[in-house]
């Protein structure tokens, strides 16, 4: 029963509108054969970090007595730093959940960062969305809704 709640929590986070839930991450399984990736969105950075600690590892097969405690013990200090310092690229790389959590976090941050092209991941995503490189990665008025739909289907 508990596993269903975690799955539901993950599905709900994938379906959220990032204009109302502006903090997210791009994730999927860590196996080289697992190419599926999804964006998940939260109201606050704290909710995002809790989801990485509590829900995401369970979605990818960790459980009490089967690696969950060790994974959480390792990443808890990094997530605490992220809560204090912000969702930086350096902390995301240090997090490395693929090592023992069964999943990856390819990007984390705010929807504002993503839609304005802050960082290499966001710029590459916008280049793909636009279909070409542009001088500016900023979305034009009216493009935001299409961009959100694109985020629901992209594989990055």
Sign of dihedral through CA atoms 122, 127, 133, 136? Answer: negative
- Please give the Cα distance from 72 to 116 (Å, whole number): 32
Task: Enter the DSSP assignment of 30.
Answer: -
Q: With bands split at pLDDT 50, 70 and 90, how would you rate the model's confidence at 1?
A: very low
Beta strands in the chain (DSSP E): 23-29, 38-42, 103-110
User: Model-level pTM?
Assistant: 0.87
Residue 111 has pLDDT above 70, yes or no: yes
Domain positions in the chain: 2-110
Give the tens place of pLDDT for each residue, 40-89.
Answer: 999 999 999 999 999 999 998 888 988 899 999 999 999 999 999 999 99
Residue 2 has pLDDT above 50, yes or no: no
């Amino acid at each position: 029963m508990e596993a269903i709640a975690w799955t539901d929590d993950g599905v709900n986070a994938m379906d959220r509108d990032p204009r109302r839930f502006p903090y997210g991450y791009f994730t999927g399984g860590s196996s080289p054969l697992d190419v599926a990736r999804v964006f998940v969105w939260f109201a606050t950075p704290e909710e995002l970090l809790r989801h990485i600690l509590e829900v995401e590892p369970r979605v990818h097969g960790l459980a009490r007595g089967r690696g969950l405690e060790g994974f959480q013990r390792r990443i808890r200090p990094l997530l605490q730093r992220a809560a204090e310092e912000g969702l930086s690229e350096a902390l995301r790389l240090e997090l490395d959940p693929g090592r023992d959590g069964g999943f990856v976090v390819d990007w984390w941050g705010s929807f504002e960062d993503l839609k304005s092209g802050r960082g290499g991941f966001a710029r590459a995503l916008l280049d793909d969305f636009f279909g070409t490189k542009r001088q500016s990665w900023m979305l034009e008025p009216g493009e935001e809704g299409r961009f959100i739909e694109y985020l629901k289907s992209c594989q990055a």
